[in-house]
Amino acid sequence: MKEKSILDSLLYKILKYLYYFLVTNLLFLVSNSLFLFVLFIFPLSLSNILLYSLSLIPMGFSISAMCYSMRKMWQEKELRPIGDYVYGYKLNLRITLKFWLLQLGIGTIFLVDVLYFLDKDQTIIAILFGLGLLINLAVSLAGFPILTTFEVKLKNLYIISFYTWGKFFLGQLFNLITLLSFGIILYAYPSEMFLFVFSVSCYFIMKQNDKILSFLNQQFSIES
């Protein structure tokens, strides 16, 4: 009988994936060390919102790097964590910066309004701006996988992002629920989840996005 290789064992595959998740998660944390410093030093308040926003500017590139890495991991079942993360970080730098700055600016405005009206005990108005903040998050959630997969202009990126929400509403809703769920888990168990939560949550989102991105790739090929 042919002896089974250790590379084919379930334990090896589990350890390999844990390694991929851990290293990419650590890279994400390191590349967002400025934001983490601000988060731990300064409380979230209206007076510190601008500081938070400035510290979040590098995160756009980190999100792109994570999306690229996790999509490759899902499709190829293999990953060069450092090399692929760095490649994804540098991929489409200009469109990533434009998209993230716009999304970050809009999100900051909505967040300021939410905090302001909560402070004034005007809960209903705060909820309305909170919905705007959620929509802004939903657009970012659709946009980043697209810009890391295709070369697209900013205007078309927004159009396609809204289009995917209309065409694949349930899939995008599942992505949003996944992101929010992992956020709640991180808030509840920060010490246990901190080393894996960002890479694992992105992996599930990119896995779900595979169908959407394959459809878009087919559509772009037909139009070309």
Segment 143-162 shows an average pLDDT of 93
The pLDDT value recorded for residue 106 is 95
Quick one: angle between helices 10-31 and 33-41, nearest 10? 70
Residues 6+ apart with CB under 8 A from 45: 115
Segment 156-168 shows an average pLDDT of 94
- Alpha-helical runs (H) found in the chain: 10-31, 33-41, 49-55, 59-76, 81-90, 93-119, 123-147, 154-167, 169-188, 190-193, 197-223
Residue 222's pLDDT band (cuts 50, 70, 90)? low
Cα gap 22→28, rounded to integer Å? 10
The pLDDT value recorded for residue 1 is 44
* pTM confidence score: 0.90
Cα gap 75→46, rounded to integer Å? 42
Segment 189-214 shows an average pLDDT of 90
- Is the pLDDT at 170 greater than 50? The verdict is yes
DSSP 44: -
Segment 131-159 shows an average pLDDT of 93
What integer best gives the mean pLDDT of the chain? 90
Residue 7's pLDDT band (cuts 50, 70, 90)? low
- Contact (Cβ atoms closer than 8 angstroms) between residue 144 and residue 70: no
- Is the pLDDT at 124 greater than 70? The verdict is yes
Cα gap 112→76, rounded to integer Å? 42
Percentage, residues of the chain above pLDDT 90: 73
3-state secondary structure of 8: helix
- Is the pLDDT at 51 greater than 80? The verdict is yes
Segment 109-136 shows an average pLDDT of 92
Choice between 190 and 16, residue whose per-residue pLDDT is larger = 16
The domain locations on the chain are 8-223
- Contact (Cβ atoms closer than 8 angstroms) between residue 100 and residue 59: yes
The pLDDT tens digits for 177-193 are 999 999 898 888 887 78
The pLDDT tens digits for 82-102 are 999 999 999 889 999 999 999
The pLDDT value recorded for residue 34 is 94
Cα gap 62→5, rounded to integer Å? 36
Minimum mean pLDDT among 45-49, 50-54, 67-71, 124-128: which range?
Answer: 45-49
